[in-house]
Amino acid sequence: MSAIERACRLFTELAEISADPPGVTRASFGPVENTAHEMIRRESETIGLEHRTDAIGNLYVTLPGLDRNAPVLMTGSHLDSVPHGGNYDGAAGVLAGLYMLEELSAGPTPPCDVTLMVIRAEEMIWFPEHYLGSRAAFGLLPNDTPDRVRRSDTGQTLGEHMTISGFDPQPIRDGQAQFDAKRIRAFVEVHIEQGPVLVEADLPIGIVTGIRGNIRHRFASITGETTHAGGVPRASRRDAVMAGSELVSSLEQWWHQIEANGGDMVLTLGEFSTNPERHGITKVPGHVGFTLDMRSQNPAILDRFDAYLKARSAEIAAKRDVAIDLGPATRAAPAPMDDTVQSDLVAAAQHCNVGTMSLPSGGGHDSATFAGLGVPSGMLFIRNENGSHNPEEHMSLDDFHCAARVLTKWARCMLSSA
């Protein structure tokens, strides 16, 4: 079986084990994510590779090198998904890494270890902490992270989910690293593009220039007063939805101003809802919950947005006599990709006769963790139709093969210069 045939088979197996119509679901630290990791362990043994799992649950698959103490060449991505998402988000990077290791294992022993890191819990939708698995691997999480609750379904904490899955949350509480970033020579992550740029450019892969930073409020709310829809005049109302609408409109106007001045920003309110058990057509809604996700490549714009959001929320709350609680926030810094790694990926693509373009990443990825630690990092995007985080997500296997070949060529060039 060739490396590309193995990858095709594993994509199919992943879809089967995680089917959750209309898409797939591989919840972080859930049974299906566990099964997906076991699938990669099984295949790594078939190929003849080493593997180990750290206390957090991250899996490391390694082709041993001549000097086991030399800095490691590394690739990796995640296997968890959003609920009812697509099959390729994250998984494409894992299987591209496995392809690379299988191809390299057929040649001479590399001068250093080459490792695929299969990362836990990248999708923040399950637990309110960005890049959870990769940050845990380097001891970067707040020590109370195991107490984060998965409110979307189980109501259990991260620590409880980890324990059920056979892992130990204590290293997170202790800030104990599972891997030394200083031992990584370079890191490249393969991932599907989560927008339409490569499709519109008719190119199979892209070289990522950087990853936007973000500010996220997962549990924001507005509380007013639930009253009669017909009996209470406008001036006497404490309408949570109207207050929320004014806040949303203000934030969009601010976004327009940033773009008009050439700034980089995207803003999403992924949830905005009342409680149907308490509110209805004849009631003035007294409560609305919402999420907020703002991203930019410019740290100064992130700072300005944070200040504006807080100030405008206070103004609207006072004006409409409501309480606006933004709840806890998480923040990730922008992560530029290494210039040399980008150039080397371009050269590898040219050698493979694969067309590329440079583009920024709007989505967050684990490679931002590595870049933030000073590891020379890069990303390859694969053309993806129909967007991401949805069941219609689509990646052609020909495009995947292009990315896997480029990743392998990049690794060979790096190893030859070691």
How far apart, in whole angstroms, are the C-alpha atoms of residue 296 and residue 238? 33
**266, 294 contact by CB (below 8 A):** yes
Specify whether the backbone of 389 is left (phi greater than 0), alpha (psi in -120 to 50) or beta: left
- pLDDT(207) > 90: yes
Show the domain range for 410. Answer: 3-211+334-416
Statement to judge: residues 14 and 138 lie in one domain: yes
Best CA proximity match to 247, nearest among 328, 303, 308: 308
**59, 37 contact by CB (below 8 A):** yes
410's tokens? 């990049």
pLDDT on residue 302: 97
- pLDDT band of residue 364 (cuts 50, 70, 90) is confident
The residue-averaged pLDDT of 228-251 equals 97
Which segments of 217-338 does DSSP mark as H helices, in order?
240-260, 299-320
pLDDT digits (tens, 9 = 90+) for 289-344: 999 999 998 999 999 999 999 999 999 999 999 999 999 998 988 999 999 999 99
Statement to judge: residues 277 and 181 lie in one domain: no
pLDDT on residue 195: 87
**Final residue belonging to a domain, choices 297, 332, 367:** 332
The residue-averaged pLDDT of 46-56 equals 97
- pLDDT(350) > 90: yes
The residue-averaged pLDDT of 216-222 equals 95
Statement to judge: residues 338 and 301 lie in one domain: no
Q: Parallel, antiparallel, or unpaired for β 114-119 and 59-63?
A: antiparallel
pLDDT on residue 332: 86
pLDDT on residue 152: 78
pLDDT on residue 251: 98
Please tell me the pTM assigned to this model: 0.85
**Final residue belonging to a domain, choices 288, 316, 332:** 332
Q: Quick one: what percent of the chain has pLDDT higher than 70?
A: 100
Q: Quick one: what percent of the chain has pLDDT higher than 90?
A: 92
Question: CB atoms < 10 A from the CB of 292, how many?
Answer: 23
CATH code at position 23 = 3.40.630.10
Statement to judge: residues 171 and 149 lie in one domain: yes
Concatenated DSSP letters of 309-356: HHHHHHHHHHHHT-EEE---EEEE--EEPPHHHHHHHHHHHHHTT--E
**74, 49 contact by CB (below 8 A):** no
- pLDDT band of residue 288 (cuts 50, 70, 90) is very high
**Final residue belonging to a domain, choices 277, 300, 332:** 332
Span of 3-7, 148-152, 206-210 with lowest mean pLDDT: 148-152
Statement to judge: residues 96 and 228 lie in one domain: no
- pLDDT(369) > 90: yes
| Residue that wins the pLDDT comparison between 129 and 322 | 322
pLDDT on residue 153: 86
Statement to judge: residues 234 and 317 lie in one domain: yes
- pLDDT band of residue 31 (cuts 50, 70, 90) is very high
pLDDT on residue 16: 97
Statement to judge: residues 23 and 150 lie in one domain: yes
Statement to judge: residues 92 and 198 lie in one domain: yes
How far apart, in whole angstroms, are the C-alpha atoms of residue 146 and residue 171? 10
Phi and psi (nearest 5°) for 74?
Answer: -135, 145
pLDDT on residue 305: 98
Statement to judge: residues 271 and 403 lie in one domain: no
Statement to judge: residues 245 and 199 lie in one domain: no
Q: Give me the number of domains the chain comprises.
A: 2
The residue-averaged pLDDT of 144-155 equals 90
CATH code at position 231 = 3.30.70.360
Statement to judge: residues 132 and 10 lie in one domain: yes
Statement to judge: residues 199 and 279 lie in one domain: no
